[in-house]
């Protein structure tokens, strides 16, 4: 692999500067011993002072699976997934779908939020195994469960078994078009014959708490620090939890606006971006309970939002990357970046972390690292020996 562009190694944001060893009140004690263990620790993992970002990429023709460490610039061969055509991640595990199955890959990097600080971990990567799943793969998780959602419904997996033992154990199968985890419960929208959003327990049974709100034709979902968000045909439904009680607020679309088809953002941040069927890019600010239209030259290949008072990134069909003010929608910067994908090839993605954005270019066989706070400066270009058709970022 040859690296083109800038010579500096991208470092994590200010949150990564915290040294978290010991963790004070955040440490937990096991029942078998009195030694404090860091919050979220998994046996065999190493706690680090900074986030451990990784880019996991797959080539659809060969099924080749690779992982890039942006700090060391090392690309590792980590397996093959024949027939892979989509990928999604929960921050640690990557789920690679074929349309009938999902292969689970443990990237070995993750973050555990602990209120006023976070814990960062790294461990050995591993191909965990395979489970049944349809197309349109998405994932939602909390500390106890992982919900793998596809066009066949949601499969609820035991999170502890996955993290600690590398075992894929299904604890429930749930009917629904969208699902999110919140407050130790599973929120499900779009179940056949059920208009209201359902609140389920970890085994898929009806919980005592409920939500008196519906979500017609759910399409798009996101977990944020301000609540769970479902994209519905009449707007976004933002669900919050307090002391076991759930409430929901609807943020309707402006008049004559088509629904967005996805909600993309830097993980946990409360500003989301998506494109609708008219080729318009819209931004949802949860705190302001408002939608803002982004002024673009045409339809987009990919969009994502960096966070509150931070840029929204739009990768246009012409291969140009632009950044926009999330409040006014106006363009801030633009750069010609990639060759547009051909035919029915998977669309590139824009993945944003605390200091950089990454854009995969399958045609050019490269991944671009972008400093989105510096007029979209291309910090580095990673040249690869395969097509990075699919890409996700882990370590969050």
Whether pLDDT at 7 is above 60? no
At 25 the pLDDT is: 36
188-217 per-position pLDDT tens digit? 999 887 888 999 998 889 998 888 899 999
Whether pLDDT at 149 is above 70? yes
Whether pLDDT at 174 is above 60? yes
* More confidently predicted of 208 and 313: 313
* More confidently predicted of 192 and 120: 120
Q: What DSSP letter does each residue of 241-258 carry, written as one string?
A: EETTEEEEEEEEPPTT-P
- Residue boundaries of the structural domains of the chain: 253-395
Whether pLDDT at 33 is above 50? no
Q: Are 135 and 99 in contact (CB under 8 A)?
A: yes
- Residue percentage of the chain with pLDDT more than 90: 76
**Among the residues of the chain, which ranges form H helices?**
159-160
At 113 the pLDDT is: 81
Q: Are 133 and 104 in contact (CB under 8 A)?
A: no
Q: Are 70 and 393 in contact (CB under 8 A)?
A: no
Residue 145 pLDDT class (50, 70, 90 cuts): confident
Give me 96's structure tokens: 């690679």
Tell me how far apart the alpha carbons of residues 225 and 271 are, in angstroms, rounded to a whole number: 10
Give me 231's structure tokens: 């994209």
What pairs with residue 51 in β-bridges? none
3-state helix, strand, coil in the chain (%, to 5): 5, 50, 50
Range in 44-53, 100-109, 176-185, 341-350 the model is least confident about = 341-350
At 27 the pLDDT is: 37
At 343 the pLDDT is: 77
Q: How many CA atoms lie within 13 A of 292 on its CB side?
A: 22
Residue 23 pLDDT class (50, 70, 90 cuts): low
Superfamily of domain 253-395: YVTN repeat-like/Quinoprotein amine dehydrogenase (2.130.10.10)
Q: Are 386 and 365 in contact (CB under 8 A)?
A: yes
Range in 22-26, 203-207, 329-333, 375-379 the model is least confident about = 22-26
At 16 the pLDDT is: 38
* More confidently predicted of 22 and 237: 237
Tell me how far apart the alpha carbons of residues 32 and 335 are, in angstroms, rounded to a whole number: 57
At 209 the pLDDT is: 80
Q: Which whole number is the average pLDDT over 100-108?
A: 97
pTM metric for this prediction: 0.89
Number of alpha helices (DSSP H) and beta strands (DSSP E) in the chain: 1, 36
Residue 4 pLDDT class (50, 70, 90 cuts): very low
Whether pLDDT at 97 is above 90? yes
At 274 the pLDDT is: 96
Q: Which whole number is the average pLDDT over 222-240?
A: 96
At 36 the pLDDT is: 52
Of these ranges, 31-40, 189-198, 252-261, the one predicted with the greatest mean pLDDT is 252-261
Range in 31-45, 264-278, 331-345, 382-396 the model is least confident about = 31-45
Q: Which whole number is the average pLDDT over 343-353?
A: 90
Whether pLDDT at 96 is above 70? yes
Average pLDDT over the chain reads 88
Q: Which whole number is the average pLDDT over 351-357?
A: 96
Burial class (CB in 10 A: 0-12, 13-18, 19+), 215: buried
Whether pLDDT at 71 is above 70? yes
Q: Which whole number is the average pLDDT over 93-110?
A: 97
- Residues contacting 204, CB < 8 A, separation 6+: 156, 171, 172, 173, 174, 186
At 202 the pLDDT is: 85
- Residues contacting 396, CB < 8 A, separation 6+: 51, 53, 91, 110, 111, 267, 268, 353
């Amino acid at each position: 692999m040859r690296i083109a562009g800038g010579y500096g190694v991208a470092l994590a944001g200010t949150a990564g500067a915290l040294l978290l060893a010991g963790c004070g009140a955040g440490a937990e004690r096991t029942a078998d011993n009195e030694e404090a263990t860091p919050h979220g620790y998994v046996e065999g993992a190493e706690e680090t002072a900074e986030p451990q970002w990784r880019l996991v990429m797959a080539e659809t023709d060969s099924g080749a699976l690779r992982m890039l460490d942006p700090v060391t610039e090392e690309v590792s061969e980590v397996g093959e997934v024949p027939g892979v055509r989509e990928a999604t991640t929960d921050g640690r595990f990557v789920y690679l779908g074929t349309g009938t199955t999902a292969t689970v890959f443990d990237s070995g990097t993750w973050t555990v939020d602990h209120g006023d600080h976070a814990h960062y971990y790294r461990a050995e990567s591993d191909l965990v195994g395979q489970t049944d799943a349809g197309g349109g793969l998405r994932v939602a998780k909390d500390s106890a469960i992982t919900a793998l959602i596809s066009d066949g419904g949601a499969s609820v997996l035991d999170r502890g078994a996955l993290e600690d033992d590398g075992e894929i154990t299904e604890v429930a199968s749930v009917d629904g078009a969208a699902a999110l985890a919140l407050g130790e419960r599973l929120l499900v929208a779009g179940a056949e014959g059920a208009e209201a959003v359902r609140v389920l327990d970890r085994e898929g049974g009806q919980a005592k708490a409920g939500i008196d709100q519906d979500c017609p034709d759910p399409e798009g979902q996101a977990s944020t620090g301000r609540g769970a968000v479902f994209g519905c045909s009449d707007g976004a439904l933002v669900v919050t939890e307090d002391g076991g009680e759930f409430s929901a607020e609807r943020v309707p679309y402006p008049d004559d606006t088509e629904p967005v088809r996805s909600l993309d953002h830097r993980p946990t941040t409360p500003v989301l971006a998506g494109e609708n069927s008219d080729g318009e890019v819209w931004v949802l600010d949860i705190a302001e309970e408002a939608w803002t239209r982004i002024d673009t030259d045409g339809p987009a290949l990919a969009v994502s939002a960096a966070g509150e008072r931070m840029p929204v990134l739009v990768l246009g069909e012409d291969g140009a990357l632009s950044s926009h003010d999330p409040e006014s929608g106006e363009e801030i910067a633009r750069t010609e970046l990639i060759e547009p994908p051909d035919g029915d090839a998977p669309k590139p993605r824009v993945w944003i972390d605390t200091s950089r954005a990454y854009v995969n270019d399958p045609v050019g066989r490269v991944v671009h690292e972008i400093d989105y706070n510096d007029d979209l400066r291309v910090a580095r270009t990673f040249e690869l020996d395969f097509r990075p058709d699919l890409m996700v970022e882990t370590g969050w």
